[in-house]
Each structure stands twice: as C-alpha cells, then as structure tokens.
Amino acid sequence: MAKDYSKPLYNSTIWKNIIRPAVLARCHYICEIEGCCDVATEVDHIIELTPDNINDPRIACDYRNLRGLCGRHHKEKTKAEQMKQRHPELEAIMFDEHGQAVLTSPGGGRF
Ligand SMILES: [Zn+2]
C-alpha cells in the first residue's frame, strides 16, 4: 500500500501512463532480481521513497532508481523497509543470492 506522501506520485498521469509502463517494458515484464523469472507486476524504487526525497526527481522518477519486481520480491522489499524504519541504524536494503531482501549495517555486515 502506498504511503500517504507517495500517493500524489503514484496517482499522477506521468507515473501511470509513462514511467511505470516504461520500467515494466524495459524489463520485459520479468522480475529484475537475479534468478527470478516471475512476472514483474510492481515498479520498485531501489532507493526507497521517503518524505524527504519524494520531490527529488532523481529518486522518485529516475529510471536508474526504478526496477520491475514480482509480487513476492516487492513484498520482501516492503517487509525489509518496515524493519529498517524500526532500526534506523541499518543502511541498505539489498537482495541476496537467494532473492531474500537483506539489510546491511554501516560496517557492511548483514542484519
Ligand atoms: Zn522476483
């Protein structure tokens, strides 16, 4: 579910008619997580949207920060984002070789 601050972006014509379909077409509607061949149904912000960066087009709308994900990987990413909110000391959300979303600590260790 989109957070309140991101709703204007996801409801915008440019997102719905241009950005989202372009990202899904770029990945041929296949999830972009390595080894996953499921249908991409979601467009994910690699650097996740926050109230601070939602108006930064380099984060919100740049194709380099967007990728197509299947429902399972999008759920994984969302779960990791929620954990990150509870543990702000953790840094990045990445996907490991098994397609599991992982958080890294500032030292580079896995959470
Ligand atoms: Zn996937």
Residue 108 lies in a domain: no
How far apart CA 91 and CA 34 sit, in angstroms, is 21
pTM over 0.85: no
CA–centroid distance, residue 39 to ligand 1 (Å)? 7
Give residue 109's pLDDT band: very low, low, confident or very high (50, 70, 90).
low
Cβ atoms < 10 Å from Cβ of 77: 21
- Which tens digits make up the pLDDT trace of 8-22? 999 999 999 999 999
- Which tens digits make up the pLDDT trace of 36-92? 999 999 999 998 898 999 999 999 999 999 999 999 999 988 888 887 778 777 766
Contact 24, 40 (CB under 8 A): yes
| pLDDT at position 99 over 90 | no
Q: State the total domains in the chain.
A: 1
| pLDDT at position 110 over 70 | no
CA–centroid distance, residue 58 to ligand 1 (Å)? 24
63 closest CA partner among 75, 86, 46: 46
CA–centroid distance, residue 72 to ligand 1 (Å)? 6
Residue 110 lies in a domain: no
Residue 109 lies in a domain: no
CA–centroid distance, residue 10 to ligand 1 (Å)? 21
So what's the pLDDT on residue 87? 77
Domain containing 38 equals: 4-103
How far apart CA 63 and CA 20 sit, in angstroms, is 10
Residue 85 lies in a domain: yes
Residue 35 lies in a domain: yes
